[in-house]
Structure 1
Amino acid sequence: MSDWDFDLLGDPIPEGHGRRGRPPHIPTDENRRKVMVLAAFDKNEEQIAAALSITPPTLRKHYFRELRSRLEARQRLEGKLLSALVKEVDGGNVSAIDKLFKRLDRHDLAIGNAVQPAKQAKVPKKGKKEAAIEQAHSAHEGSPWANLLKH
């Protein structure tokens, strides 16, 4: 292959392109990463196969391990992104530090461990009639009538 054996999207043109029949698909590490990322973003098999310019049966044949667990793909991708973020934080990247703090806050809120300010108990509001009745029951307090009404 020479330097000009790539299509417009930068993918290598397989040997035998233009002849009868479809050339065999050869899986690469780059394509395996593409499948993992697309599976992590919950793309279906047809969409992933279209992204690789192959058919869904060919996708299942060559990339069955990557397709096996979408949740695992999501966790692996998230782990890779977080480790890259921590590496940037170690380098002193202020933007990365801010993003990591926001990420930790979101995580704390999701699991309910966020430090929240102490909430004061709300006193239920009373209507005009309820307030007047309460005032009528306590009107004698602090007056000379208080001793007479106790008896």
Structure 2
Amino acid sequence: MAEIFDLFGDPVPANWGQRGRPEHVPNQQNRNRVSLLVAMGWSNARIASALFITQPTLRKHYFSELKFRDVARDRLVAQVGVKLMDGVNSGNVSAIREFQKYLERNDLMLYGQTRQPEKSVPAAKPAKAEKVGKKAAALAAAQQPDAGTPMGELMMRRQQAATAH
């Protein structure tokens, strides 16, 4: 029996028009969606709800996309790289810039740093003086009188006399 297709080219389920809900028919667009969502780290429950299907239906029809969960992100990144490389080969300047950023991100992932020459490290900054509170600053100022004023001169004489004895 020949398979029947609707106006959009999708196969029509066998029980179409009969009692009960027709079976979900996976198409390439939904397969691509599932692959993308798996690569983005979505859970099966979240993917199923995005496609308006149940989790058992997701596992039944999209098991081949779900089994590549471990490498899905790498496959997606590689696909983006291929598209960028196509743009670079065609001479697209913005694609060249994006491809350079793509390479830098890849190098960061592989080596933990960019392969660009290291920038000169500035000299170590001197340690900052410990901050003193208002009361401690006032107490320290009281111990160091200003010799330029008559009161400060008198206080200095008294301090010197106290330390001499």
Give the TM-score range, shorter chain.
Answer: 0.5 to 0.7
SS at 2:18's partner residue?
A: coil
Cα RMSD, aligned residues only: 2.7
The alignment's TM-score, normalised by the length of structure 2, stands at 0.60
1:114 correspondence with 2:115: yes
Matching residue of 2:89: 90
In structure 1, give the amino acid aligned to 2:119. Answer: P
Deviation at 1:119, TM superposition (A): 1.5
User: 1:122 is aligned with what amino acid?
Assistant: A
User: Where in structure 1 are there 5+ consecutive unaligned residues?
Assistant: 128-151
AA aligned opposite 1:85: L
Distance 1:72 1:29 in 2: 20
Give aligned-pair identity as a percent: 44
Q: Secondary structure at the match of 1:114?
A: coil
Q: Is the 8 A contact 2:104 2:114 kept in 1?
A: no
Which residue of 2 is the match for residue 39 of structure 1? Answer: 38
Query: Relative to 1, partners in 2 of residues 1:112 and 1:20: Cα closer, same or farther, differing over 3 Å?
Result: same
Unaligned runs of 5+ in 2: 130-165
Partner SS, residue 25 of structure 1? coil
Greater Cα radius of gyration, structure 1 or 2: 2
Rounded Cα–Cα distance in structure 2 between residues aligned with 1:77 and 1:117: 33
Q: Which has the higher contact order (CA 8 A, sep 6+)?
A: 1
Cα separation, 1, equivalents of 2:128 and 2:33: 62
Letter in 2 for 1:67: L
Given the two structures, how large is their TM-score scaled by the length of structure 1? 0.65
The alpha-carbon distance between structure 1 residues 24 and 96, as it changes in their structure 2 partners (threshold 3 A), is same
Question: Structure 1 123/13 Cα, relative in aligned 2: closer, same or farther at 3 Å?
Answer: same
Task: Report deviation, 1:14.
Answer: 4.7
